[in-house]
Amino acid sequence: MRAIPLMRFGVFEPFLRYAGAADERLLVEAEKVGLPLQQLRDPDMLVASERVLHLAEIFARRLGASDLGWSVGQFAALDDLGTFGRRIQRAPNLRVALTATANEFHRLHSGARLEVEVTEGAIWLRHLLPGQDQARVDHALQYTLPLLLKLVRRYAGEDWRPLQTRLPASVVGHVPSAAAERERLLPSDRNEASVAIDPAILTRPLGLGPRVGVADLSWEGKPRLADDFVGSVEYVILSMFGSGRITASRVAETGQMSLRSFHRGLAAHDVSFGEVLDRLKFQQAHALLTTSPMKLGEIADFLGYAEQANFNHAFRRWTGSSPGRYRATADAASPP
């Protein structure tokens, strides 16, 4: 079974603020597509990509805004994207930021791709988003292009203008004419949000950063987690720690799967949900007990246990020791 296409909720959060999250009608629509927005408070929480695209398209129809994606992209800041946004903003140069973005797409298997194409006199940054529903893809690409331009301007300066930008032909007419002229926007026959830049910008440092030559551009974003079904399930679980009890139903719902199909997918990899969850809980518990000052009750709550006694019981099953003794042993073994 293939990996679940995922997206961080922080990518969609600017749509909520722009559209007005207090609008009860929008919250109802969110519930209908399986996104309980009142429960999604963490921008790093993972949700199914298709649901996010669907909801953006619903918001646009509700608000009568054919240019909603572009407007939200202009309104949003990279900081709004949670941990991912802060990571790319810390990149010493644009090439490193683009590599981090490509890695994110690969890890989450969102369906999006980031390509860097070297042509004579220009480098094209292409965000490609295949999809069967063109209206949903159009809003997503409208949203992406302003954010991509903001990322480039961190290194090129606010007055910088691209050599050219491209959006699908179905979108270009919805972009305000002044913005289209400033960004030198032209129609494309592909589902892309693309920017052409001067090659020198790619390695222009933000503060101190490594210099990278154009000849070194044959890079591919590499996933840090397994790129199969189990890997994407692990990623969903990791994003849910700290948000209450984690169940197979919650994870399956995130991946837009029936519970039966979800369990069957794991069984095809010779693993059960309980085994995956137990392993990740132990990894998190070990890290928190040995590197953080969190109290045992706080760790239990973070891992989704209703009572600390339940955490204690599980930890004894994993290690044969209580969490408190495990922490004390680790402290005693640490160098002064």
pLDDT, residue 336, reads 44
Residues in the chain: 336
pLDDT in tens, 203-231: 776 543 333 333 333 333 333 344 578 88
pLDDT in tens, 107-158: 666 677 888 888 888 999 998 887 668 888 888 899 999 999 999 998 888 8
Using the Cα atoms of residue 34, residue 35, residue 40 and residue 43 in order, give the sign of their dihedral. positive
pLDDT, residue 241, reads 85
pLDDT, residue 333, reads 53
The strand pairing partners of 196, in sequence order, are 124, 164
- Domain(s) labelled CATH 1.10.10.60 in the chain stretch across 229-333
- Domain(s) labelled CATH 3.90.1520.10 in the chain stretch across 6-216
Instruction: Output the CATH code of domain 229-333.
Output: 1.10.10.60
pLDDT in tens, 248-273: 998 888 777 889 999 998 998 899 99
pLDDT, residue 99, reads 81
Confidence of residue 5 (pLDDT cuts 50, 70, 90): confident
pTM greater than the 0.85 cutoff: no
Q: Above pLDDT 70, what percent of the chain?
A: 83
Phi-psi group of 82: left, alpha or beta (phi > 0 → left; psi -120 to 50 → alpha; rest → beta): left
88 Cβ neighbours under 8 A, 6+ residues apart: 78, 81, 97, 100, 101, 151
Do residues 165 and 93 touch, judged by C-beta distance below 8 A?
Answer: no
Pick the CATH number of 6-216 from 3.90.1520.10, 3.40.50.11540, 1.10.3720.10, 3.90.550.10: 3.90.1520.10
- Which amino acid makes up residue 200? A
**Measured distance CA(297)–CA(303) in Å, rounded:** 10
| Tokens (6 digits) for 190 | 């592909």
* HSE toward the beta carbon, residue 64, CA cutoff 13 A: 0
Per-chain mean pLDDT for the chain: 81
The CA-atom distances, in angstroms, between 169 and each of 81, 149, 153 are 27, 19, 25
Tokens 């302003």 label which residue?
146
State the pairing for strand pair 46-48/6-8: antiparallel
**Measured distance CA(283)–CA(103) in Å, rounded:** 23
